[in-house]
Amino acid sequence: MKSARSIFNSRLRAIALSGAAIGVAQLALFGGSAQALTVDKLLFLSTDVSGSINTTEYNTQRLGWSNAFLLPTIKSSIAASPNGIAVAVGQWDTVARTPLAIDWTHLTNAASVDSFAAQLATMARQATGNTCVSCGINAAVASIQNAIRTGLFDAPIKIIDISSDGIDNVTNAATVRAARDNAASQGITINALAIEGDFGATGVTDYYNNNVITPKPSAFVKTVTGFSDFEAAATIKLKREVIGAPGPLPLFGAMAAFGWAGRLRKRVSLAKLNLPAMA
């Protein structure tokens, strides 16, 4: 027959186990995140597939990215990365398209890079509509957040690499800047490939500098003079993002960017509460 002490201890264990079970259920119910696999970088390729990009130009983009990843210096740099990098590809036109064109993929060695490059080379086009740059940014941010929240991947460096030949004609510049600011407030860098042709020599580049990329010098726009130049530009851009050139932020630039991001986090939080921003 069990002693009173034994019965008491059994009841305590039952209560503890019940409390733990409730805690797990609450974590799942209220959006708690699982422990994500830490990689060295998260890179989201956000690709414009709007109507201004014809089939030949779309093929130039996907093959350009594929060949850039196959570059020996890129492959060796990824293979040398202690935790590898995680990459995903999304497409957007009038809206951000779902599902992702290529889901989050962990690149750790030459074989995994080769496989990812093969996916890029055969990536199907999902749409052809108007140009919603803010949609592309917001979807990329959401995908990065989801990868972290669901315990898929996390990284100290998070980059959205957006490529387009146009400016937003679905929303407006203020909406694009709000999307950019939201990304920056969460520590996400937005870089851009600006493909010129329809808006003068620097029209797309100027638009992306002013509205799309996060603060310099950590972020940058690479100008593409035309689709024939895309692969070379994508290669230069990918080298800078994956290998790390031109290096870390100068101290003053890092301090300025940190302060800018802090102000943005406050501004975004106030906006969600419908409170006026303070200087």
Residue 209 is part of which domain span?
38-245
Give the whole-angstrom CA distance, residue 258 versus residue 43.
21
73, part of any domain: yes
- Above 50 in pLDDT, residue 241? yes
- The domain total for the chain is 1
259, part of any domain: no
256, part of any domain: no
Question: Are the CB atoms for 64 and 230 separated by under 8 Å?
Answer: yes
255, part of any domain: no
Give the model's pLDDT for residue 252: 35
196, part of any domain: yes
Sign, CA dihedral 140-146-149-150, equals: negative
> pLDDT for 90-135, tens place per residue?
999 999 999 999 999 999 999 999 999 999 999 999 999 999 999 9
The CATH number for 72's domain is 3.40.50.410
44, part of any domain: yes
> pLDDT for 61-98, tens place per residue?
999 999 999 999 999 999 999 999 999 999 999 999 99
Give the model's pLDDT for residue 36: 87
- Above 70 in pLDDT, residue 248? no
- Above 70 in pLDDT, residue 254? no
9, part of any domain: no
Using alpha carbons, select from 177, 173, 137, 176 the residue that is nearest to residue 158.
Answer: 137
76, part of any domain: yes
Q: What average pLDDT does this structure show over 32-47? A: 87
Please state the pTM of the whole predicted model.
0.78
Give the model's pLDDT for residue 29: 37
